Amino acid sequence: MFIVESYFTAILFCIITMICWGSWANTQKLAAGRWRYELFYWDYAIGILLFSLLAAFTLGSFGENGRSFLPDLMQASGANIGSAFLGGIVFNLANILLTAAIAIAGMSVAFPVGIGIALVLGVVINYFGVEKGNPALLFSGVLLVTVAIILNAIAYRKAAAGGQKAGTKGIVLSVLAGILMSFFYRFVAASMDLDNFVHPQPLKMTPYTAFVIFAAGIMVSNILFNSIMMKKPLEGAPLSYRDYFKGGFSLHIIGVLGGAIWGLGNLFNLIAAGKAGPAISYGLGQGATLVAAIWGVVVWKEFKNTGNKVTGLLTGMFICFLAGLGLIILSGGS
């Protein structure tokens, strides 16, 4: 299977993760107005599962290093399979809430608040799970990211006062999503042998196998979680399964593409965790907040005509995010 063998490559993979995790929501924005987010999310979950299987039977099965996908799956313990599956369930609930927040408050709000909180709590959780990296630099970076989140929240409040779409619902959903999102990665990381992907411990899984089990957890739990969201939507009229099948091919493929984009980022992040450590790998990946905020501000114009004060706050947010992510990178090379 394909394995990352240097810290530099691991950081490069984390940057790709950041771009993917911060960009998938553009597919939801493309479908907005024609396709409710609850319907979009079915295709998104399918896209993650299909991509995980494609990766497992290609990159996860070729080459001489590590265990290929099917033998690795057959030898994995029930506890490790259950841990990765639980990670998928936790992620799915968090991501459904985040998707709802994006629909209500926009990318430039939902991502900095929700994923920013997930970054801060997730780095702490994953660092104490596997203590890898310079803690002073790592947590200094996390502190700067926290400042960036606060600046974004202030900018959102000022924009709301200026007549932008607002409301506490979007913020509350983002916060809940962020808290839940901070826990999923630890369950997946615990199912893998992060110290040795070339010769992984018996009963543990490779990143490719763990990703497939994780994606299965998303798909199975989606039957419950998203069905509830369709029957009891946070906004709009209730939906039925018939509504999903009324969608055209172009709408379905947009959601599948969104899931595949997120899945690519997740796979690269899990592969990178062996060299960078889960705290650094996860923390850099969740720098997706910065990418999503750029999309929201520059492309989707979510803070259009809000004045110089809001522009200054957003500029400060971007600076703090960049500085914080830089310190997180340095923490692994010191």
This prediction has a pTM of 0.88
Q: 90 pLDDT exceeds 90?
A: yes
2, part of any domain: no
Query: Is 260 or 277 the better-scoring residue by pLDDT?
Result: 260
CB 266 within 8 A of CB 300: no
Q: Is residue 259 part of a domain?
A: yes
pLDDT for res 178: 92
User: Which pLDDT belongs to residue 114?
Assistant: 85
Give dist(CA 27, CA 43) in Å, integer: 11
Burial grade of 132 (CB within 10 A; 0-12, 13-18, 19 or more): buried
Taking the CA atoms of 283, 63, 208 and 99 in sequence, report the sign of the dihedral they define. positive
Torsion of CA 3, 6, 7, 13, to 10 degrees: -40
Q: Within a domain: residue 60?
A: yes
Q: Residue 331: count other Cβ atoms within 10 Å of its Cβ.
A: 26
6-51 tens-digit pLDDT: 999 999 999 999 999 989 889 988 998 899 999 999 999 999 999 9
Q: Residue 204's domain spans which residues? A: 7-333
Nearest to 191 by CA among 208, 174, 168, 179: 208
Q: Report whether 183 contacts 286 (CB < 8 A).
A: no
What would the mean pLDDT of 276-303 be, rounded to a whole number?
A: 83
- Residue 238 within any structural domain of the chain: yes
How many structural domains is the chain composed of? 1
- Is 90 part of a structural domain of the chain? yes
Which residues, 6 or more positions from 40, have their beta carbon under 8 angstroms from its beta carbon? 27, 28, 31, 99, 251, 254, 255, 258
Least confident segment among 73-77, 111-115, 231-235, 264-268: 111-115
The Cα angle at residue 35 between residues 31 and 41, in degrees rounded to 5:
85
Residue 209 located in a structural domain: yes
Task: Identify the pLDDT of residue 38.
Answer: 93
pLDDT at 107 over 90: no
Q: pLDDT at residue 78 above 80?
A: yes
Would you place residue 286 in the very low, low, confident or very high pLDDT band (cuts 50, 70, 90)? confident
Least confident among 106-115, 223-232, 263-272: 106-115
Over residues 231-258, the mean pLDDT reads: 94
**pLDDT greater at residue 265 or residue 131:** 265
Predicted confidence at residue 166, as pLDDT, reads 47
**Domain annotation covers residue 1:** no
Tell me: the pLDDT tens digits for 166-205? 457 888 898 999 999 999 999 999 999 998 999 999 999 9
Average pLDDT on 244-258 reads 96
